[in-house]
Amino acid sequence: MPIDLKPSGRNRGHCVLAALGVLASGVVAAMNGAQGLRFDSQGVLDLAERTQKASGDQVPFAALDVTEAGQIVAAPTLSEDQATLAFSDDVYACKTPSKACSQEHERKLIDAAAGAVRRNGRQLGVVAASGTPAEFVDWNLPESKTADGDAETHWYLGRLDGSGYYRVEVQFGHDAPGNFLINPASGKTAFVHNGSDVVALSPDGMQLVTFNTLNSPLSLRVASLDRSGPRLALQCETSNENNHVEAAFKGWHDPHSFDLVFEIHPERNKLARRIALRLTQGSSGWTLAASDQVPLIAMGFVCRAAAAEKSAPDKP
């Protein structure tokens, strides 16, 4: 079974902090909260966390048009390498990636933020119109005889199209990168693990779907990036761990619907079975259209909208 890279960096960081409690004052300061805002900080919506649950009603099933189902199955699959937010190296576009080049490009983006973003050495701050500023701190814990070292480095990447959310990349010492998405009005923040998960923005930039393709059971989340967000809008999961089922993300169909394909691998010498799905958010709520509902019900596939989540999100 594939290993989920995301928890390794998280758990490793906690173990390192516990093991290095007798080191120099800089390490002790890190243990006392000097690491700044992190994915597990209070108030951060961690969209990479599989235990995030929506508390609303179950999304009803509907039949998917045969032609549309065929088009969804035939569409190219977007992996976590393709359906993701761009990394700092891509945003900064340095011919030869280097810290000096990244710092130069980050400075230009910070200058364009008109005082809302500031950098002071290892500290990077994002100041929303109201609310508590988001403060990020670059840190590095050295390797010891009892534990591996660890580190986090942050880069400001500008604002997302559509929502206008500020974006800060975090590079982990033992994990793939992630992004913090910060509401420019309220300062409310979400974390996505775009280095190992599918993290795909809707065409208008107002919604984001995220899930891990390598680990079962499937756990998928959709977040709204509107003026009251970021907030969980939809959550889907299967109730049983089935290593014979793979989920393929086929992209956003339009700003309010996206497509998946479940590929079921039966016993040896039998053809794989593909089920096309389209999840759509309308004025009365979410709907789930599938080419075949029976296998989905058998695997316990359920989607739930967040409480009172109906109409499409408003822009900030």
pLDDT for 268 beyond 70: no
Q: How does DSSP assign 249-271, residue by residue?
A: EEEEEETTEEEEEEEE--STTS-
pLDDT value, residue 142? 86
pLDDT value, residue 307? 80
Q: Residues 131-161: pLDDT tens digits?
A: 789 999 999 988 888 878 889 999 999 999 9
Q: What is the pTM of this model?
A: 0.85
Identify residue 304 by its one-letter amino acid code: R
Q: Write the CA distances from 278 to 71, 200, 238, 266, 303, integer angstroms.
A: 11, 15, 16, 23, 12
Average of pLDDT values for 288-310? 88
Which residues does 159 contact at the CB level (< 8 Å), separation at least 6? Answer: 113, 165, 166, 167, 184
Q: Residues 50-109: pLDDT tens digits?
A: 888 898 899 999 999 999 999 999 999 998 888 889 999 999 999 998 999 999 999 999
Task: Name the one residue in this structure whose structure tokens are 């660890």.
Answer: 150
pLDDT value, residue 3? 35
Tell me the C-alpha distance between 129 and 103, whole Å: 25
pLDDT value, residue 264? 84
- Of the pLDDT bands very low, low, confident and very high (cuts 50, 70, 90), residue 310 is low
